[in-house]
Each structure stands twice: as structure tokens, then as C-alpha cells.
Amino acid sequence: MLGLDTELKQTRFYQEIAEEESIVLLTRLLRRKFGIQPELEIALKRLPGMELTMLENLAEAILDFKNVTDLQNWLDSQ
């Protein structure tokens, strides 16, 4: 059973669903943290296309962001 879970997580289908759900969650978290503002909306457009590991790293980095500029700097450094 454990082997099946590991194999499933490696499929492209699983990766795409996980990426989409991560983007939805990150968007909600960032909008709640910073409010809806033009700079944030521009930054959010950069999330689609990011790999799952990058999105996971962003989820951790959000805790350290003080403002949208911190998010933009993080995205630029990736």
C-alpha cells in the first residue's frame, strides 16, 4: 500500500493537482496577510508554472514576509 502512494505522488497528474491546490492556498494566505492590492496581484500571477517544491518553499517563506516587497524579492531570487 505504501508503495502505491509513493508511485501515485510521482505521477504528473498528482503533481499538477498538488500544484494547483498549492497555488489556491498560497493565494488565499497572501491575500489574507497583505490584503488585496495591485502589487500582490501582480506577484500572484507568477505562481502558476512554479514547481511543487518551489510552492512548498514559498509556503514556509510566507511566515517571514513583512510586506509584498518581501514576496517580490523572494520570487525574484528563485
Q: What is the pLDDT of residue 13?
A: 87
Residue 29 CA to residue 4 CA, distance in Å, equals 32
C-alpha torsion angle, residues 27, 65, 33, 17 (rounded to 10): 20
pLDDT tens per residue across span 8-61: 777 888 889 999 999 999 999 999 999 999 999 999 999 998 999 999 999 999
Domain ranges of the chain: 2-77
